[in-house]
Structure 1
Amino acid sequence: MFMYLNGQYICEEEAVIPVFDHGFMYGLGLFETFRVYNGHPFLLDDHLSRLNDGLKEMNIEKSFGREEVVSIIQSLLDKNNIKNAYIRWNVSAGNGMIGLQTEPYIEPNTIVYIKSLPEANGMVEKTGQIVTIPRNTPEGAFRLKSHHFFNNILAKREIGTDVTIEGIFLTKEGYVAEGITSNLFWVIEGVLYTPSLQTGILNGITRQFVLKLAEQMGLEIKEGLFPLDMLAEAEEVFATNSIQEIIPIKRVNAYDYKGIEGGIVAVLHKEYRIHSKQLWSVKELGG
């Protein structure tokens, strides 16, 4: 596969970054993962907005606009002869001396990974499992989609390699937080619940999109700090992320749910599929 590295399209095997890159040395880097549907990068503007905000937070002097990014993505699609793809847009701080740096990073490394995906189809049901390690708190005021993933890796080790299991974090106080690589929702008597950003979770782009869809459907939505035993009352539970979209959960530990048969998750997925080949931003919903 061809990938993009600092203005060049190269084979994956040829890609290298310097050992003094502070993304490697100190974890100063950010990434966005998103899906391309038949050539269209879904909700790209929202992903770029979050990325650019994070770059400012990390003092990395770089920003990306739609035109530049679409051009690079289209070139990668063409060179790899694919239309449906997983994209990871990665920005690493760039070179620095040994030691922590307070000055801005002015020459970051931009790396774009691509992987072919099959054309999007129906939903894939999973089982949820509460992990024992608590969700760590963000490094700053809010969680960035950064290179700091060891908490996620420890949780993944708990559940193992089974891709049909979605590990679910609680905060150290015992509140439901998020999946290892997803946000979490559940339905009780027609009300849609999701953990608040106060829990320290990532404000996922698909999370934001689903909340907007639910609002347009007229659903009552509650965000807050919710204990684990609240899941015992739920009829539907589902997770979201930009690659797996909307993921029905049929069980979390001893609690059983409707899974793929859930009425609200089915409607949300149908609406998701309608918009996935055309929208650039959540703001475009409803005109």
Structure 2
Amino acid sequence: MPIAYYDGQYLERDTIRISPTDFGFARGVTLFELARVYGGKPFYLMAHLERLERGSKMLDLPLPALTELADIASQVIARNSYASSAIKFYLTAGECARPSGSSYMACEGFTPHLMIFEDEVMPKHPEAPYGLDLYQSGQRLKIVPFDRDLPMLKTTNYLTGFYAARQVAGADYDDILFTHRDGYITEATRSNFFCVINGVLLTPQRGMLLGITRHVVLELAAQLGIKTIERDLFPADLAQATEAFTTGSIAELVPARSIDNYHLATTMDGKIFTALRQAFSAKIQG
């Protein structure tokens, strides 16, 4: 059984219990981070932990020092000994010791809880975690209007993505591409979005979670000399796109073959996507 960390203890994950009065469960106030682990080594762990720390400060939730968190993660990883995995951090608001009145401002004496889990990840291919079929054919994206709550925070709230995915279930789409109420593209349900227009790599600049894999791709693009612009993108812009893909910690880089009625049949062999995919794989191997 996998070993996890819970409030100062290392124990079997299935023995962990969360109170139904914990605001992490009862009100959805839970910060979340997930970092890939390759060969026992976390990938960009400190970047994930720094984002977790920013969220804890915004919500006024206590969090151990980042060096301590990294050490705890290393202990969990060593105890489980997976060849490939994902390390997950959950920081809940905890129970409200003195609830009173009708306002959240009246709740005092919270007892936050920190949990660190590790799940084994078994990629179907070294450069295609979800399998070569998807990477050779490309995913189909459906544009759906949606405004993300507090996009600067990574939380366990995936309700809108969960709901939107079920609205198009059975249709000819693999994932959702969200747009803000003002019309600009933000992100997919669990990943960031990139496209190539006139040889320039473009990615949205606001309204979405700034993903760590997105950050790595921007670093690699700069190293490869690929011109990159972060700006507002609108669905109409996609008529000019020749490549498009999404990025995420588990999926890494996944090409898109269509977005609504916009077809991008060249993405899978596209010059920029291919260069970034190869550079990303090389970075993992390194």
1:122 aligns with 127
Q: Is the 8 A contact 1:2 1:12 kept in 2?
A: yes
| Letter aligned with residue 270 of structure 2 | G
Aligned letter for 2:238? L
Which of the numbers 135, 146, 154 marks the counterpart of 2:146? 135
Preserved contact between residue 95 and residue 110 of structure 2 (Cα < 8 Å): no
- Letter paired with 2:147: N
Aligned match of 2:230: 223
Q: TM-score, normalised by structure 2?
A: 0.86
Deviation at 1:167, TM superposition (A): 1.4
Is residue 3–residue 114 contact of structure 1 (8 Å, CA) maintained in 2? yes
RMSD: 2.4
Following TM superposition, by how much is the alpha carbon of 1:103 offset from its aligned partner in structure 2, in angstroms? 7.2
With a CA cutoff of 8 Å and minimum separation of 6, indicate the structure with the bigger relative contact order. 1
> In the TM superposition, what is the alpha-carbon distance from 1:265 to its structure 2 partner?
1.1
**C-alpha offsets along residues 110-138 of structure 1, whole Å, 9 cap, x if unaligned?**
11222111366123524232243x22243
**How many residues are treated as equivalent by the alignment?**
272
- AA at the equivalent of 1:226: L
Partner in structure 2 of residue 269 of structure 1:
277
Equivalent positions of 1:171-186 (< 5 A) are 171-186=180-195
**Mapped pair 1:156 → 2:165:** yes
1:284 matched residue in structure 2 = none
Look up the equivalent residue of 1:14 and give its one-letter code. Answer: T
| Structure 1 residue runs without a partner (length 5+) | 279-287
Shift of 1:161: 7.9
Partner of 1:208: 215
Verify: 1:5 aligned to 2:9, yes or no.
no
Give the whole-Å Cα distance in 2 for the aligned partners of 1:45 and 1:79.
20
Query: Contact between 1:177 and 1:184, CA under 8 Å: does it hold in 2?
Result: yes
Residue 109 (str. 1) matches residue 104 (str. 2): no
Partner of 1:59: 60
SS at match of 1:108: strand
Task: Classify the secondary structure of the residue corresponding to 1:46.
Answer: helix
- Taking a change above 3 Å as real, the CA distance of residues 15 and 277 of structure 1, as seen in their structure-2 partners, is farther
- Deviation string 1:76-129 (CA, Å, 9 cap, x unpaired) is 333333131012211111121445146786642111222111366123524232
User: 1: distance between equivalents of 2:238 and 2:153?
Assistant: 27
Q: 1:250 to 1:90 in 2, by over 3 A?
A: same
Q: Distance in 2 between matches of 1:238 and 1:104?
A: 45
Whole-angstrom CA distance in 1 between matches of 2:271 and 2:65? 39
1:255 paired residue number: 262
Conservation of the 8 A alpha-carbon contact between 1:60 and 1:104:
no
Kindly provide the CA deviation profile for residues 189-241 of structure 1, in whole angstroms up to 9, marking residues without a partner as x.
210111111xx111111111111211222222222222202112111100001
Percent identity of equivalent pairs: 29
Q: Is the contact made by 1:93 and 1:105 (CA closer than 8 Å) also made in structure 2? A: no
Q: Distance in 1 between matches of 2:34 and 2:27?
A: 21
Q: Does 1:233 align with 2:240?
A: yes
Deviates more, 1:144-153 or 1:238-247: 144-153
Q: Find the counterpart in structure 1 of residue 35 from structure 2.
A: 34
Q: Distance in 2 between matches of 1:16 and 1:175?
A: 41
Do the aligned partners of 1:129 and 1:159 also contact (CA within 8 Å) in 2? no
